[in-house]
């Protein structure tokens, strides 16, 4: 994810899981686009709030998430986080992860 400061300090790998890992992160701000071609990603908000944007058929679908809410992002779907506010999130993220600074074509 791309943030105003060094994002590497915002993320910690908790445990390996299948072909990826369980991560916990804490930050505010927005991220770049990403997708996972080898599996679904589980995103659960532990504290704070965010909006997850899914790119489905070239249309952006916004999902507001608050504490104790989760979303499963389907395999291969481009997504990003917007307006995260003191977000503490746990993800189960398959690898590899592809990134894009620009909105992908679909």
Q: How far, in whole angstroms, is CA 98 from its chain's centroid?
A: 12
What's 71's domain CATH number?
Answer: 2.60.120.10
Say if 32 falls within a structural domain. yes
Rounded CA-CA distance 32/93 in Å is 16
The domain total for the chain is 1
Say if 102 falls within a structural domain. no
Domain boundaries, position 26: 7-93
Closest listed residue to residue 29, CA positions, set 68, 86, 89, 90: 86
- pLDDT tens, 30-82? 999 999 999 999 999 999 999 999 999 999 999 999 999 999 999 999 999 99
Q: Are 40 and 106 in contact (CB under 8 A)?
A: no
> pTM for the full model?
0.88
Give the pair of three-digit tokens for residue 5: 């400061």
Counting every residue written for the chain, the total comes to 106
pLDDT above 90: residue 1? no
């Amino acid at each position: 994810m791309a943030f105003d400061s060094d994002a590497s300090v915002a993320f910690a790998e908790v445990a390996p899981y299948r072909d990826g890992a369980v991560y916990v992160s804490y930050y505010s701000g927005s991220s770049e686009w990403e997708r996972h071609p080898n599996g679904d990603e589980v995103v659960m908000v532990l504290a704070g709030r965010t909006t997850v944007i899914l790119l489905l058929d070239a249309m952006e679908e916004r999902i507001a998430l608050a504490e104790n809410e989760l979303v499963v992002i389907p395999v291969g779907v481009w997504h990003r986080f917007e307006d995260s506010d003191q977000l503490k999130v746990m993800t189960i993220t398959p690898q590899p992860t592809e990134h894009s600074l620009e909105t992908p074509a679909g």
